[in-house]
């Protein structure tokens, strides 16, 4: 336990370093081929972290198997830097405008994926966090 305790403490700290997806909300209906906002909020944290990159993707959730693990990015809607900024309302976040292309396979239940690559702690440990938000996609 003596060895494991600091490890658990580190993971507790690391998970407190997480993100919140402000929008879209779970179950939200999103039309294809129309831009919409993905609000990625960086939660307040104790230890500093260096943001390296973020991806936003979309993947279908087949009825038979459900949504895959959100580390499966799916069709890439955004790839690039993550630069959250403090706002008067809503905290420290960055809004991304993305568009889901028309894709028959994505009609119905699908999962918006957000993957964040960042460095944390004194050793700048490379860390990947994956988030998924189930949405309902439909063609216009
Ligand atoms: C970011 O997106 C959220 C949710 O759509 C919205 O409420 C907020 O006003 C947007 N912020 C800016 C600065 O555009």
Residue whose CA lies nearest to ligand 1 atom number 3: 39
Distance CA 82, CA 52 (A): 7
The rounded average pLDDT for each run of 10 residues, N- to C-terminus, in the chain (140 residues) is 51 66 97 98 87 98 94 98 94 97 96 97 94 96
| pLDDT (tens digit per residue) in 39-64 | 999 998 778 899 999 999 999 999 99
Nearest to 118 by CA among 81, 78, 69, 68: 81
- pLDDT score, position 10: 52
Nearest to 135 by CA among 105, 113, 116: 113
Q: Which of 21, 90, 93 gets mutated to test ligand 1 (max ligand atoms within 8 A of its CB)?
A: 90
Q: Considering the entire predicted model, what is its pTM?
A: 0.88
Ligand 1 neighbourhood includes 84 CB (under 6 angstroms): no
- pLDDT score, position 52: 97
- For residue 92, give the 3-state DSSP assignment: strand
**DSSP E strand stretches across 61-124:** 75-80, 85-87, 91-98, 108-120
Q: How many domains in the chain?
A: 1
Atom in ligand 1 nearest the alpha carbon of residue 93: 1
Residue whose CA lies nearest to ligand 1 atom number 6: 39
Distance CA 82, CA 131 (A): 15
- pLDDT score, position 1: 46
Exposure of 73 in the CB half-sphere (CA atoms within 13 A): 14
Q: How many A from CA of 26 to the centre of ligand 1?
A: 17
The CATH code of the domain that includes 53 is 2.60.40.730
Domain that residue 103 falls in? 4-138
Chain center to CA of 26: 13
CB 120 within 8 A of CB 76: no
- pLDDT score, position 9: 53
- What is the DSSP pairing of strand 29-31 with strand 125-138? parallel
């Amino acid at each position: 336990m003596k060895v494991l305790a600091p490890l658990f403490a580190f993971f507790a700290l690391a998970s407190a370093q997480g993100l919140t997806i402000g929008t879209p909300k779970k179950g939200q209906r999103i039309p294809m081929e129309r831009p919409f906002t993905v609000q990625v909020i960086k939660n307040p944290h104790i230890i500093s972290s260096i943001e390296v990159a973020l991806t936003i993707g979309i993947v279908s959730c087949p009825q038979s198997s459900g949504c895959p693990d959100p580390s499966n990015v799916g069709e890439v809607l955004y790839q690039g830097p993550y630069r959250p900024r403090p706002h008067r309302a809503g905290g420290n976040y960055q809004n991304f405008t993305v568009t889901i292309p028309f894709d028959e396979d994505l009609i119905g239940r699908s999962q918006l994926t957000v993957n964040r690559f960042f460095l944390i702690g004194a050793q700048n440990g490379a860390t990947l966090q994956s988030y998924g938000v189930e949405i309902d996609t439909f063609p216009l």
